[in-house]
A and B are shown apart, each in its own frame.
Chain A
Amino acid sequence: AQSVTQLDSQVPVFEEAPVELRCNYSSSVSVYLFWYVQYPNQGLQLLLKYLSGSTLVKGINGFEAEFNKSQTSFHLRKPSVHISDTAEYFCAVIWVTGFQKLVFGTGTRLLVSP
């Protein structure tokens, strides 16, 4: 079955420290990969996406992610976080065998403290 795993339910970090949020998915067939951010009482906002090409993808707000096909991973990183980055982060995958259904992980709550 197609699944997306975010092992860390919560990641606490101090402001200006680097952070990595991990994401693994279940199959190495052709995929599109995404990271979304959700602020309280708001909808999902796309941070970045990988469709093809360079495996290092840069997104908004200084985030980047690297696609590793052999490890079926798409970890999200930021070199220096801000208080305003406190939010829920979701990794999502489209398996390119059908239409554009997103399969989401369970999310990682990033808590940035001063």
Chain B
Amino acid sequence: GAGVSQSPRYKVAKRGQDVALRCDPISGHVSLFWYQQALGQGPEFLTYFQNEAQLDKSGLPSDRFFAERPEGSVSTLKIQRTQQEDSAVYLCASSTGLDYNEQFFGPGTRLTVL
């Protein structure tokens, strides 16, 4: 498809488990963003890539959160030793990166930590 895809769509983890969430951006998009959306809240910025470079990770809530985009395309958000407060929808967005351009969002991954 032509849009941003994310997998899995739903993930249930036991507290303490590690999880990996995948984002496939629109082909050719330079910029990639991760957002976290807690229940009843708006999305909150986690981190930003321009190609393979992670230019801002100021929104990552703890050192248990790690994101990578090694080849400048697919990105993975990894959460180690998951906690209940990590339960949220994780949204990925991509854009062309030219000046300002629209961010296109994927459907998100709903993570539930038991």
Chain A residues engaging chain B, CB cutoff 8 angstroms? 4, 6, 32, 36, 41-46, 49, 51, 90, 92, 94, 96, 98-107
A101 interface neighbour in B45, B50, B105, B107, Cβ under 8 Å: B45
Interface status of B41 (Cβ within 8 A of chain A) = yes
7 smallest beta-carbon distances between A and B, as pairs: A104-B42, A43-B105, A44-B105, A43-B107, A101-B45, A106-B42, A104-B43
- Asked, given contacts A90-B43, A102-B45, whether A43 binds B91 with beta carbons under 8 Å apart, the answer is yes
- Asked, given contacts A43-B4, A94-B100, whether A107 binds B41 with beta carbons under 8 Å apart, the answer is yes
Give the interface residue-count category, chain B.
Answer: 20 to 34
Interface status of B18 (Cβ within 8 A of chain A) = no
The answer to whether A32 and B100 have CB atoms under 8 Å apart is yes
The answer to whether B100 and A51 have CB atoms under 8 Å apart is yes
The answer to whether B102 and A42 have CB atoms under 8 Å apart is no
The answer to whether B45 and A103 have CB atoms under 8 Å apart is yes
Q: Please name all residues of chain B whose beta carbon is closer than 8 Å to the beta carbon of A46 when the two chains form the complex.
A: 102-103
- Asked, given contacts A43-B106, A44-B105, A94-B100, whether A99 binds B56 with beta carbons under 8 Å apart, the answer is yes
Interface status of B55 (Cβ within 8 A of chain A) = yes
Q: Please name all residues of chain B whose beta carbon is closer than 8 Å to the beta carbon of A4 when the two chains form the complex.
A: 42
